[in-house]
Amino acid sequence: MRLARFVTTSALLAVASASSTPVAAQQPAPADSADPIATLVGQLDLERYKATIKGLTAFGDRRQGTARNRQALDWIEAQLKSYGCSPERLTYEFNPPPAQPRPAVAGAGQRPGGAPRVGAGGSRLRGNRARTGVNTDSLAQPDPRLRALNAEASTPGARQNVYCTKVGSTRPDEMYIVGAHMDGIGWGEAANDDGSGTALVMELARIFSMPGVTTERTIRFALWNNEETGLNGARAYVAQRQALQGKEEPAGSGKYPEPKWLGMIQHDMMLWDHGMPRADGTLNPEQRPEADVNVEFQSNSKMAKQSAELAWLFHAANEKYATDYPATVGPHMTNTDSGPFQDLIPAISLRENERGAHTGNGWNPHWHQPTDTYATFSDKDFRLGLNAAQTTLGALGQLAGVKVKR
């Protein structure tokens, strides 16, 4: 336990030191009167995105209820503050019953007689399936540094989400929520699940906070905790903040601590789209030629029509602003932090492939495994995440009404 705490603290100091230089270099956004959104999309940088993911992996799998999770929250908060996006926290209690092991799933994607299996969110599982599940065995992690870093077990008690807000200039009472979950599991580094989404949201917060950038509507950049235990961080946010929407406080001040929610955009696992497993369970080591940014909504939610419209707006933004990978729209959003919002407001999730039919079918062998580390992924993988960032920035710039001062 003492070794784990020493390694985590040392990593925290090293990452904070290494990240101070680019953070201090925050400069005004270059003005482009023709298309301010294209100007801001051009501020997204692959190496900077990778560096933010790398910074997050210094805290191991960031399992909720541990010192490494709390230190990761502190690091995220410091980064947001350095961007000029003032961070806040939402505190809630998490006191779960004893955990039950999740069964691993393996086998063909068809039932006897050819009837398709039903996946999460109403999706259909077809073709070959690879084994899925959550690694709970420390010895499955061959790296002794990561075994030590991830050794501390979760304890019940207080938890926190961290978020920062870009206040709208003309409609501060209306808000889009842009989120990802910062916690992970599996005895790795949670680089993809969900360091890739967390870094994406942090990069968007940085760019929208650049001097000279204004938005008509408010944007909140939220990093959820406890996604891996049942979306508890996002659920706590809805429970505590839903009734406060649109209330001016104090009256006549023009300030809205919780603006009216217009939509929620989640980012969860952004890097790996290597295709269906082979018959022997192995996967292609390269991105498949059809790799894309999957934009999901939930077809049986109360806001399905509005969520589908939001998803297609993101699809159009991808066509205009993404540089490498196209987008596809899917109707089976499931098991991520947009879920608690899906019956309240338009809600979508961006990810590497369809959560129900692909991830749940074993398309990503690193999901919740010790191999979810920074070193596992190539620049082609990281670029898929960057294209998701381009997609969200393009769509969000339109929705929020972004301007860049000349």
Structure tokens at 248: 């001016």
Q: Domain of 327?
A: 2-95+150-273+283-404
Q: Above 70 in pLDDT, residue 104?
A: no
64 assigned to some structural domain:
yes
The pLDDT value recorded for residue 99 is 67
DSSP 3-state assignment of 188? coil
Q: Total domain count for the chain? A: 1
What is d(CA 87, CA 81) in angstroms, rounded to the nearest whole number? 6
| Residue 23 burial (10 A CB sphere; 0-12, 13-18, 19+) | middle
Q: Can you give the CATH number for the domain in which 171 is found?
A: 3.40.630.10
Among candidate residues 43, 67, 69, the one with its CA nearest the CA of residue 56 = 69
Residue 235 lies in a domain: yes
Average pLDDT over residues 98-109: 57
Within 42-87, residue ranges assigned H as helices are: 46-57, 67-83
Residue 239 lies in a domain: yes
Structural domain includes residue 145: no
Residue 4 has pLDDT above 50, yes or no: no
Q: Report yes or no on 126 lying in a domain.
A: no
Q: Is residue 132 part of a domain?
A: no
Residue 353 lies inside a defined structural domain of this protein = yes
pLDDT tens readout for residues 380-394: 999 999 999 999 999
Picking from 267, 275, 233, 259, the residue whose alpha carbon sits closest to that of residue 393 is 267
Tokens 């944007």, located at residue: 219
pLDDT beyond 80 at 195: yes
- For residue range 124-174, what is the model confidence (pLDDT) as tens digits? 777 888 888 999 999 999 999 999 999 999 999 999 999 999 999 999 999
- Indicate if the pLDDT at residue 358 is higher than 50: yes
Burial class (CB in 10 A: 0-12, 13-18, 19+), 243: exposed
Q: What is the pLDDT of residues 70-102, one digit of tens each?
A: 999 999 999 999 999 999 999 999 999 876 665
Is 39 a member of any domain? yes
Q: Give the pLDDT mean for 213-231.
A: 98
For residue 398, how many other CB atoms are within 10 A of its CB? 15
> What is the Cα Rg of the chain in Å?
20
Given a cut of 80, whether residue 15 has pLDDT beyond it is no
Classify residue 287 as exposed, middle or buried by CB count within 10 Å of its CB (0-12, 13-18, 19+): buried
Q: How far apart are CA 401 and CA 168, in angstroms?
A: 9
pLDDT digits (tens, 9 = 90+) for 287-337: 999 999 999 999 999 999 999 999 999 999 999 999 999 999 999 999 999
